[in-house]
Amino acid sequence: MARFIIRSIISTIITMLLVSIALFFLIEVGSGDISVKILGVFATPEQRASYRAQLGLDAPAWQRYVDWLIGNDWRAERKVGYPLVTATNPQTGEQGWWADVDGQLTRWKMEEGQLLTLKRQDDGSSTAHLSSGGWEVNEEGQEVFWGVDTKNNAVQWMRGEGAEVWVLTKAGLRKEGDGPQVYIPLRKGLLRGDPGISLQFGRPVAVTLVPRIRNTLVLAGVAFTIIMPLALFLGILAGINEGKPLDRIISITSLGFTATPEFVTGIFLIIIFGIWLKVLPAVAIFTSPNAIFEDPTLLALPVLTLTAVELGYVARMTRASMVEVMDSPYIRTAIIKGMPKWRVVTKHAIRNALMAPITIIMLHVNWLIGGLVVVEVIFGYPGLGYYIYRSAIFGDYNAIEAAAMVTVAIAILTRLIGDLAYTLLNPRIRYA
Amino acid sequence: MAVQSMTTKRQPSRWEKFWNTASIVFESRVATVGMSIVLFWVLVAFISLFWTPYDPNASNFTQNLGPNTTNLLGTDHLGRDILSRLMQGTQVILLKTRLPGSDISIPGGVAIWGVLGSLSLGTLLGLNAGYRGGWWDQIIMQVLDALIAFPRIVLYLVVIAALGQGDLVVILAITITGAPGVARLVRSLALDIKTRDYIRAAETRGESVWYIMFREILPNARGPLLVDGMLRVGYAIFAIGTLGFLGIGLPPPDPDWGNMVNEARRNIFANQLAVIWPAVAIASLVIGLNLFADGLREELTRYQK
């Protein structure tokens, strides 16, 4: 038993690692030049190269994978020479990177050939001073300086070189002199809860992702609590009446609903309830972040769509398992010895019949996530699925990778829980 | 003597053998209904190769017309005839795959090639895992576990975000998402079949591993594989529809059902029928395939009990 659990956990970790490698390199190899999306098609090659360097895309792929997974502040620390720490910016509420120079949080800035030291005050603002020294001479005899700039990068400036960089501002690209030669965009890495900056929103992925995960969990949770009892009930009902008209009706209807794509079901529900009857909102427009709690009718159609699609599958599984159990000798014995049928069903059959569906439901979670993506797109529901969709269309690699890893983690963890639950419930495996 | 007795006892012809196997479909009402729906759409696809009422991509009519005598199913938001577009829409799914960068199409639709791809890849992996066992099994199943862990749509989105739109990309996406399921099925069949005596006999004869896997095991696993393949065509059409709906499926100019729903959806308040027709088309084809496969499986397993 203990061996089995340890084995499953190790296998899960290996799977997650494989998934992360596959995901990262698939997007890495496949996706085109992101600078085309952001800078537009008319940007010059120099502008593109400069922008890509600022995103850290000039580093080799394996290096970026490691950065993405476990962060790169430890790598940058060795270059800068001071511990790198994050501090909250009180205006945006987001984390910024600073170098901890003897207890004073510091950044640097190059202006007209002069290196300025920015010292962080307690209110989050900073004061500029002319910095003294710190320049080192490298092998080629150039004077270089490693520091943290104002855009959360660890950078290397070079005295006298005055590299020109293209900085993206709201008004477009601006050319700046005295730019750094090398950039390391600082990040803590996925495992430490920082999957990087979202390129389409310009904010950290973690900040934009969390409310969406919450919205999705609410949607999925409500749907799940409706689907499960109903599906199990219908499945058991069909299983007891195997071959009778009631079973036929339930089986064929659930097959029909399962086979109908989510978007077809969703569209039909919109047409019926949103357009013809005008009783439910056809799109989920969020006027405030807590809109689902203020106006639960927003959830009605998305939940109904998910229910229609998922209900059939679970019901069919339950039915199959129930039919099998009802065929078994011990049920026949119970019936022959004169036990009322409802007692046979409730006392003997259901417990054994539910074992298979419960594990299958756990395996089915990643199917549910697939359904969520489509349902959220249909109704414009601001959840995880819609986020993945938007990021994939934009090519926002940090966001897709983070969001996809969240879905994979959910799928794998539920599967692990399913496996463990099954082992606990089934004595034949438990004592094997 | 032996020759004479062979000739007097007539061997059933190929066609008769096929018919005997195929008539199992008519044993089940569900399978018959499913097959009729599927055959209807296949027929529509072949007709559309030679004739559609109007040019499916020409905006010849008033926009968003309801059904009338000229346009039996009405027109869409660009004034195109919906019936012609629906008919032509079957081609990319069932009959032709367009190669990028040229006007050449190869026969066999995206759904068909996608399923063939996942069947081949899955069979290859499953046979190796099941028959060879040991490290092969461990490594192959670990990789497949990782693939299965991806929610399907997320994998589609990632593949398409990475490789761009196109018929071949959709085929690849269907292949990758389908292969793990096929591999698991083939592996479990291979584990069962490899304990049989005829495999032992082949091993004793000194046949190569590949010969045993593909000439001894595979032919004996074809029944369940066939039913699984049928179900997968349904899933593939389901997936193509969903991708089209998300606006990242098969590229224009050929009409694609999912994309027709997606485009018409923007005018849903003005014209609901333009959304309903393609939606019903996808749903009916997928349901038909599911009924067919389901009925067939029921009939096939009935005698095994």
CATH number of the domain bearing residue B167? 1.10.3720.10
What's the pLDDT tens digit per position in A286-328? Answer: 777 777 777 778 888 899 999 888 888 888 888 888 888 888 8
Residue B21 lies in a domain: no
Residues A73/A186, Cβ–Cβ less than 8 Å: yes
The answer on A174 and A95 residing in a single domain is yes
Residue type at A399? A
pLDDT of residue A369: 81
Of A256, A271, A370, the CB nearest to B151: A370
Residue B146 lies in a domain: yes
CATH number of the domain bearing residue A271? 1.10.3720.10
Contact A259 B287 (CB under 8 A): yes
Identify the closest residue of chain B to A316 by CA–CA distance: B294
Residue B269 sits at the chain A interface (C-beta within 8 Å): yes
pLDDT of residue B305: 46
Residues A159/A151, Cβ–Cβ less than 8 Å: no
Provide the H-helix boundaries in A31-176.
Answer: 34-39, 45-54, 61-70, 73-80
Residue B154 sits at the chain A interface (C-beta within 8 Å): yes
What's the pLDDT tens digit per position in A103-150? Answer: 788 888 777 777 788 888 877 777 777 776 667 777 777 777 888 887
Residues A338/A361, Cβ–Cβ less than 8 Å: no
Q: Write out chain A residues lying below 8 Å of B291, CB-based.
A: 255
Q: How far apart are CA B61 and CA B71, in angstroms?
A: 9
Of A22, A32, A388, the CB nearest to B154: A388
The answer on A388 and A331 residing in a single domain is yes
Identify the closest residue of chain B to A248 by CA–CA distance: B30
Residue B121 lies in a domain: yes
Residue B14 lies in a domain: no
The answer on A294 and A400 residing in a single domain is yes
Residue A232 lies in a domain: yes
Q: How far apart are CA B92 and CA B110, in angstroms?
A: 6
The answer on A104 and A180 residing in a single domain is yes
Q: What b/e string do you get for A60-74 counting C-beta neighbours within 10 Å, with b at 16 or more? A: eeeebbebbbbbbbe
The answer on A270 and A169 residing in a single domain is no
pLDDT of residue A431: 59
Q: Which helix (H) or strand (E) holds A154?
A: strand A153-158
Residue B276 sits at the chain A interface (C-beta within 8 Å): yes
Residues of chain A with pLDDT under 50: none
The answer on A269 and A214 residing in a single domain is yes
Domain range for residue B295? Answer: 28-61+72-304
Q: How far apart are CA B157 and CA B280, in angstroms?
A: 24
Residue A53 lies in a domain: no
User: In chain B, how many domains are there?
Assistant: 1
The answer on A346 and A239 residing in a single domain is yes
pLDDT of residue A32: 65
Averaged pLDDT, groups of 10, chain B, 305 residues long: 53 77 77 91 90 81 78 80 87 82 79 93 92 88 82 81 82 90 90 88 89 88 85 89 87 85 85 87 91 83 60
Interfacial B residues in 36-95 facing A (CB < 8 Å): none
Residue A120 lies in a domain: yes
For strands A153-158 and A143-148, give the pairing: antiparallel
Of B262, B295, B257, residue with least CA distance to B33: B295
Q: Write out chain A residues lying below 8 Å of B244, CB-based.
A: none
Residue type at A162? G
Residue B168 sits at the chain A interface (C-beta within 8 Å): no
Q: Write out chain B residues lying below 8 Å of A32, CB-based.
A: 164
The answer on A349 and A236 residing in a single domain is yes
Contact A270 B268 (CB under 8 A): yes
Q: How far apart are CA A69 and CA A82, in angstroms?
A: 22
Cis peptide before B253 (omega within 30 of 0): yes
Residue B298 lies in a domain: yes
Q: Is B14 exposed, middle or buried (0-12, 13-18, 19+ CB in 10 A)?
A: exposed
User: In chain A, how many domains are there?
Assistant: 2
Q: Write out chain B residues lying below 8 Å of A373, CB-based.
A: 151, 153-154, 157
Domain range for residue A374? Answer: 206-425
Residue type at A320? A
Residue A64 lies in a domain: no
pLDDT of residue A429: 62
The answer on A217 and A164 residing in a single domain is no
Contact B146 A270 (CB under 8 A): no
Q: Which residues contact A353 (CB under 8 A, 6 or more apart)?
A: A236, A239, A318, A321, A322, A324, A325, A326
Query: pTM value?
Result: 0.83
Residue B16 lies in a domain: no
Q: Which residues contact B151 (CB under 8 A, 6 or more apart)?
A: A366, A367, A369, A370, A373, A407, A408, A411
The answer on A100 and A227 residing in a single domain is no
Q: How far apart are CA B155 and CA A429, in angstroms?
A: 33
Contact B290 A259 (CB under 8 A): yes
The answer on A243 and A151 residing in a single domain is no
- Phi, psi dihedrals of residue A323, rounded to the nearest 5°: -60, -45
Residue B227 lies in a domain: yes
Residue B187 lies in a domain: yes
The answer on A277 and A161 residing in a single domain is no
Report ipTM (2 d.p.): 0.82
- Phi, psi dihedrals of residue A304, rounded to the nearest 5°: -60, -40
